[in-house]
Amino acid sequence: MLVVILMGSKGDLEHAKKIAQTLEKFEVPYVMRIASAHKVPLKVLEIIKEYENKDVVFITIAGRSNALSGFTDANTTKPVIACPPYSDKFAGADIFSTLRMPSGVAPLTILEPEEAALAAVKMLAIKYENLIDKIKKYQEEKRREIEKADEEVKNNG
């Protein structure tokens, strides 16, 4: 079981660290790698092939012109989650390069790092049932956060 966080550049590292923090909560192993589908496509292929025979979910991080997510998905049978960093440049329109994929290419798009990690954990839980209790605990913690916030607002608002 492994999540491969594949970044298009080192500039994506802070976004990747947010994903990693959530994976650590679930005690899911991960590895971070950097390879650009535009600049070093053969390296991306090498990375994909390195993990192809493992129980793996890829989370790709690339902004601007996101070829990485589609390229990764087109070259693996494993799940790919695109988690592009938001950019104020071009009024956030960079996201369209992640949302519009060619036919036969289907990376899931999840914008928030925490949610991308959670989706990967849920995918892995199909085979690794020990993750199910961790997911339920996480969900219960989120419910408690809402209940606590409700009480605070109700009593002080």
Binding-site residues: 9, 12, 36, 39, 63, 65
10 Å CB burial of residue 1 (0-12, 13-18, 19+) is: middle
Give the residue numbers of the binding site for substrate. 9, 12, 36, 39, 63, 65
Q: Are 135 and 121 in contact (CB under 8 A)?
A: yes
CA atoms of 66 and 49, how far apart (whole Å): 20
- In this structure, the dihedral spanned by the alpha carbons of residues 73, 34, 25 and 141, taken in order and rounded to 10 degrees, is -60
